[in-house]
Structures are given as C-alpha cells and as structure tokens.
Amino acid sequence: MSGQQVRKRYMRHFARMTRHTRLKAWAIVLAFVMQALAGVLLGHYLLSLELSVATVAMMVLTAIFIGTRLRGLNNIVHECSHSTFAENREDNVVLGKVCSSLLTGCFRRYKDDHLSHHAHLGDYANDREMAAIEKLRLHDPLCAKTVLRHIVTPLTGRHLRMYSGVNLSRADGLLFYILKIAVLVAIVAFSVMEPLTSVFFVVLPLFYIFPTINFWTDCLDHAGLVGEEDELAASRNVLAPAPIRFLFFPRHDCYHLVHHLFPQVPAQHLKEAHERLCEDPEYRSQPLAVRPTHLGLTSLKPRTTS
C-alpha cells in the first residue's frame, strides 16, 4: 500500500477537521511566550541561590524547558505555513510572521522552503529544507555509529550554521522587521542589565538549545529515510511517552508520518488521525507508523536497498 493510496482512501475523512478560532490561536501563542518568560524568571531566581548540584541541575532543566517552548512557537510557524493553525487564512499569515519574528526568523522564507520539502521530500535538488542540511548526512543508512554521530553532532556545533542565526530579511513586511529588531535590542539590553541570566536563559536557549532540538527532531523524523520514494517509508511517527511529547513535541508533531501523508490535518487532530489510520491493517503494519518508542531511537529503521 503506497502513501498515495492511503491519502486517497482517508482524505475525505480528515477534510473537515477544525482549526483554532482567532482568540484561541492568539491565546496559544501567548501561552508559549509566557511559559518561556516564566522560565527566564525562574532561571534568574536560581542564579541568586547558593550554588549546588541541585541548583545547577535545575538551571539546566530550566534552560532546556525554555528551548522547548521556543520549539512550540516554531511548531506554530510550521502550522501557519500550511494554514492549519487558525480558521482564517490571513490569521495564519499574521501569526506565522509574529512567531517567526520572535524567533528572529522569516516566515516567508520558512514557508517557501517547507512547502518545497513536502513537494519534493528528500530530493536534495528541490527539497530546500533537506538540501540546507545535506552535510549532516541524514540520508546515511542507520546503524549504531550513525545514530551516535547524530547524537554527538550538537556537541560539536556543526549543526548551528544550518539551524541557528538571525534572518534580517524584510520579506515579512516592515512591521515584522521592526518587531524582530525590537526583540534583538531587548536581548542586548537585557544582556547588559542581567548578563548571566541573559546568557544562560535567553541566548543559550534561543541560539543553541532550540536549534539542537530542531536538529534532533529532524533526525527522528527522517534520519535513514531520506531518498525513499514512497511517503509511507520517508518519515516516521515518534510514539514517545506523554511527558516527552509535551516537552519536545509541544504541538503534536511527533506524528510526522501522518503529517506528511495529510498536511491539511491541523496539529491538534494528528493523534486522532493516527488512531483512525491504525484501523487500517496496512497502515498498522508499517513499523514507522506504529512502533512504540522512547525518544524515537528504538524506531529508527534503516532505508532498505535492493
């Protein structure tokens, strides 16, 4: 059974899944922003305490938590690029630009690159998302050595040039360019006033932890599968425990195989769509779709060659 057959069979079942109202969409964005800011405040408080193993551990966990909330904003950018986050198409554009600006990125560039990823999945000549990270070799067949390399890569910083940085393009419009500049000015000003808090709980989460989570998520989604022609074999679901999903897949993007098959399905309905698809014996027989996993590592399946 091919991905096209699955899509044809279930397309109409998922066609009318609801998107968020304008009010709820903005509330979700605000919730992620407030969680990140709360993490910064907690980090600032922890720095005022006497240094101990416990406080250091709490500071590390807090910085990681902030990075996961930034990942949540990035997930919203992703949903907005498909116009699946808010009911109104124009709201998706505005919210995508707001979240991109907060992350010092560019929504228009992201959307163009991401839609090429869906149209030409794994084709380095046309898939601009995968082409940008070709040097990280997600196409390598998976073995213990390859998995270890993907785990260690962030320790070397090799991924940062491709996953981090500031996009000062004005492609999203003057208003969002100003918002992006305001965010950068605020970071600089905060760094002058509270340098330790800024370094550990603003700069590190935004420019290292968040990009690292994005890289590892790309590995879980596509490592060892790049080049597969059938979409059923070109990405995987990551059926991790609920706490892991809450932290590292904050907008239900652990169902990445479902997303590639049905990009029109809003993120909040991906689990529902997956459960519906599991009623189909052919989908259910796909290890990449249903194999349980902790952090996805036990579901890593190498690309087969003939």
Q: What is the pLDDT of residues 79-126, one digit of tens each?
A: 999 999 999 999 999 999 999 999 999 999 999 999 999 999 999 999
Identify the CA nearest to 122 among candidates 235, 1, 253, 263: 235
Domain tally, the chain = 1
Helix (H, G, I), strand (E, B) or coil at 59: helix
Residue 247 has pLDDT above 60, yes or no: yes
**pTM above 0.85?**
yes
For 67, the domain range is 3-127+143-299
Residues 6+ positions from 178 with CB-CB distance below 8 Å: none
How far is it, in rounded angstroms, from Cα 122 to Cα 138? 10
State residue 304's pLDDT score.
45
| Residue 304: inside a domain | no
| Residue 132: inside a domain | no
| Residue 34: inside a domain | yes
| Residue 237: inside a domain | yes
- What does the pLDDT look like over 197-244, one tens digit per residue? 999 999 999 999 999 999 999 999 999 999 898 888 899 999 988 999
- What does the pLDDT look like over 60-69, one tens digit per residue? 999 999 999 9
**Alpha helices, DSSP H only, in 20-126?**
22-47, 53-81, 89-102, 107-119
Identify the CA nearest to 221 among candidates 187, 259, 189, 192: 259
| Residue 288: inside a domain | yes
How far is it, in rounded angstroms, from Cα 93 to Cα 90? 5
Burial classification of residue 248, based on how many CB atoms lie within 10 Å of its CB (0-12 exposed, 13-18 middle, 19 or more buried) = buried
| Residue 136: inside a domain | no
